[in-house]
Amino acid sequence: MLGRCVCPEKHLPCYSGLIRPVNAPDHVPETKKDQVVDACQRHKVRTLEAFGSTLRPAEYRAESSDIDLLVHFVPMDPYARVTSYFALRDELEQILAAQVDQVVKGAVKDAVIARKIERTKQRLYAA
């Protein structure tokens, strides 16, 4: 069932807080969306965004490409954050049946790469 979106991207379709990027392949099957939302909530994710070849249909190959995700956690102590990072990655890999490469928001120090990610990212989840 479709839910009301409370995130700023109101023009994007929303599903229980999970937004399917427009113009991007849907790597989260309808049957898995609630599981992704639950995982994000359980591991205290503020936002989850896709970037990279995941968003470029001409380049993405389900059998060999990974799913690049930018994750922003709510404030928490360092140990809890590390635990949440790896637990979320492992859970998303199981749900999506694909390798997940997670980058924590703010961790990319190369300005060119950081700008490219910021320019091209697509929100998947917002708390």
**pLDDT of 127 over the 80 cut:** yes
CB 4 within 8 A of CB 107: no
User: What local confidence, expressed as pLDDT, does residue 17 receive?
Assistant: 41
Structure tokens at 24: 């991007």
CA distances (Å), origin 5, targets 26, 27, 97: 18, 20, 26
Q: In what order do the strands lie in the sheet with 14-15?
A: 14-15, 18-19, 122-126, 45-51, 67-73, 100-104
Range with the lowest mean pLDDT among 60-64, 78-82, 117-121? Answer: 60-64
User: What local confidence, expressed as pLDDT, does residue 11 receive?
Assistant: 37
For residue 30, what is the DSSP state? Answer: G
| Confidence band for 66, pLDDT divided at 50, 70 and 90 | confident
90 occurs within a structural domain: yes
| Confidence band for 2, pLDDT divided at 50, 70 and 90 | very low
Counting residues of the chain whose pLDDT is more than 70, the rounded percentage is: 69
67 occurs within a structural domain: yes
Number of structural domains (the chain) is 1
Structure tokens at 21: 């990027």
**pLDDT of 20 over the 60 cut:** no
26 occurs within a structural domain: yes
4 occurs within a structural domain: no
Beta strands in 40-116 (DSSP E): 45-51, 67-73, 100-104
CATH number at residue 46: 3.30.460.10
Question: Distance between CA atoms of 78 and 65, rounded to whole angstroms?
Answer: 30
As a whole number, the mean pLDDT across the chain is: 77
User: What local confidence, expressed as pLDDT, does residue 81 receive?
Assistant: 95
Whether pTM > 0.75 for this model: the answer is no
6 occurs within a structural domain: no
**pLDDT of 21 over the 70 cut:** no
5 occurs within a structural domain: no
106 occurs within a structural domain: yes
7 occurs within a structural domain: no
Query: Mean pLDDT over residues 95-112, rounded?
Result: 90
The domain containing residue 39 runs over which residues? 14-126
